[in-house]
């Protein structure tokens, strides 16, 4: 392919790379297991748990877009294409950010903490009268406003909770202090009060709640395609991708084989199949 079209940009996606792992079969949940994600997901003391969506697949589909765009920009400068390789395991390890760094720097593998954060407190869920609410206090000012909302302003000056390091060291104490007043309130009322006081908080809801919230915030999370609603891309730009059923409807097997081969051979992009036409035929 490179001999006939030296400017071609080609991307290979595998489970475990093109070296010794080339022949190993894999799936998202398998990579979550062997890649360490399950080891830090779930309740403390409970079994390792997979994330509720194919997160490794999603991450590994997004990163190649960045690399391909970079390769296209490089081709504009030097005229050369390139071969890009990504694999599920490497992408997962790169995405584990602070948890992976903690393992590398300390030599101690992180553990499951449920909804808690390993180095911030309170940064987790609290029990209210009618369910759970997430509270995230990333700095001392947010903690002071949080305890004020909960009717316990003096906790901000308690020597056990003065700084984030203090709160992490006394996590069980601070959560017990916060859940006592939170447990007497309904989530919606506490959520509303927290927002007015600029405390990062919100009820733990389901997907219907999430779409409704995004609508209220003007994020337009869905788009109608005929009689069916689809998820809209989260990207907003001056050149948005047009909403199309092609995002979920696949072309027939081999429908564009010859067109794409001609494109690879010539480097001309003007005759590539149009997603909307593909979807209408599908």
158 within 8 A of 178, measured Cβ to Cβ: no
Nearest to 282 by CA among 274, 190, 121: 274
Nearest to 10 by CA among 67, 60, 90: 67
Confidence of residue 282 (pLDDT cuts 50, 70, 90): very low
104: pLDDT strictly greater than 80? yes
Q: What is the greatest pairwise CA distance in the chain?
A: 73
What distance lies between CA 2 and its chain's CA centroid?
35
Confidence of residue 5 (pLDDT cuts 50, 70, 90): confident
Q: Which two tokens stand for residue 11?
A: 């991307």
Q: Please tell me the predicted confidence (pLDDT) of residue 260.
A: 85
pTM of the model: 0.80
Name all domains of the chain by residue range, CATH numbers in brackets.
9-106 (3.40.50.10540), 123-205 (3.30.1540.10), 244-281 (no CATH)
| pLDDT tens digits along 243-275 | 655 555 567 788 888 888 888 787 654 444 444
Positive or negative torsion for Cα 32, 33, 35, 40: positive
Mean pLDDT of the chain: 88
Q: What is the mean pLDDT of residues 10-26?
A: 93
Name the percent of the chain lying above pLDDT 90: 70
113 within 8 A of 104, measured Cβ to Cβ: no
CA 227 – CA 223 distance, rounded (Å): 10
State the CB neighbour count (10 A cutoff) for residue 48: 14
Angle at 37 between CA 36 and CA 42, to 5 degrees: 120
Q: Please tell me the predicted confidence (pLDDT) of residue 278.
A: 42
| Residue 45, φ and ψ in degrees, nearest 5 | 85, -10
Confidence of residue 276 (pLDDT cuts 50, 70, 90): very low
| pLDDT tens digits along 34-86 | 999 999 999 999 999 999 999 999 999 988 999 999 999 999 999 999 999 99
Strand partners, 39: none
Q: Where are the alpha helices (DSSP H) in 164-206?
A: 164-169, 171-182, 187-196
Confidence of residue 152 (pLDDT cuts 50, 70, 90): very high
Q: Please tell me the predicted confidence (pLDDT) of residue 279.
A: 40
| pLDDT tens digits along 159-211 | 999 999 999 999 999 999 999 999 999 988 898 999 999 999 999 999 999 99
Question: Which residues form the catalytic set?
Answer: 57
């Amino acid at each position: 392919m490179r001999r006939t079209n030296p400017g071609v940009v080609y991307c290979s996606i595998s489970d475990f790379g093109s070296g010794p792992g080339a022949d190993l079969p894999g799936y998202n949940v398998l990579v979550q297991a062997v890649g360490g994600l399950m080891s830090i997901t779930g309740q403390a003391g409970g079994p390792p748990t997979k994330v509720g969506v194919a997160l490794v697949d999603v991450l590994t589909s997004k990163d190649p877009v960045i690399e391909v765009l970079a390769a296209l920009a490089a081709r504009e400068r030097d005229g050369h294409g390139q071969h890009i390789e990504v694999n599920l395991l490497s992408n997962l390890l790169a995405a584990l950010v602070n948890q992976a760094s903690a393992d590398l720097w300390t030599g101690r593998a992180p553990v499951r903490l449920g909804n808690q954060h390993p180095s911030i407190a309170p940064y987790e869920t609290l029990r209210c009268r009618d369910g759970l609410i997430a509270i995230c206090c990333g700095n001392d000012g947010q903690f002071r406003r949080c305890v004020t909302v909960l009717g316990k302003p003096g906790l901000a000056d308690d020597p056990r909770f003065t700084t984030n390091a203090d709160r992490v060291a006394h996590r069980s104490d601070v959560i017990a202090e916060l859940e006592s007043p939170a447990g007497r309130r309904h989530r919606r009322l506490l959520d509303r009060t927290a927002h007015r006081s600029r405390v990062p908080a919100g009820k733990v809801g389901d997907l219907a709640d999430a779409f409704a919230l995004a609508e209220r915030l003007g994020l337009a999370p869905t788009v109608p395609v005929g009689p069916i609603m689809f998820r809209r891309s989260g990207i907003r730009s001056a050149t948005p991708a047009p909403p199309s059923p092609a995002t979920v409807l696949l072309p027939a097997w081999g429908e564009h084989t010859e067109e794409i081969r001609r494109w690879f051979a010539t480097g001309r992009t003007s005759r590539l199949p149009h997603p909307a036409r593909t979807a209408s035929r599908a």
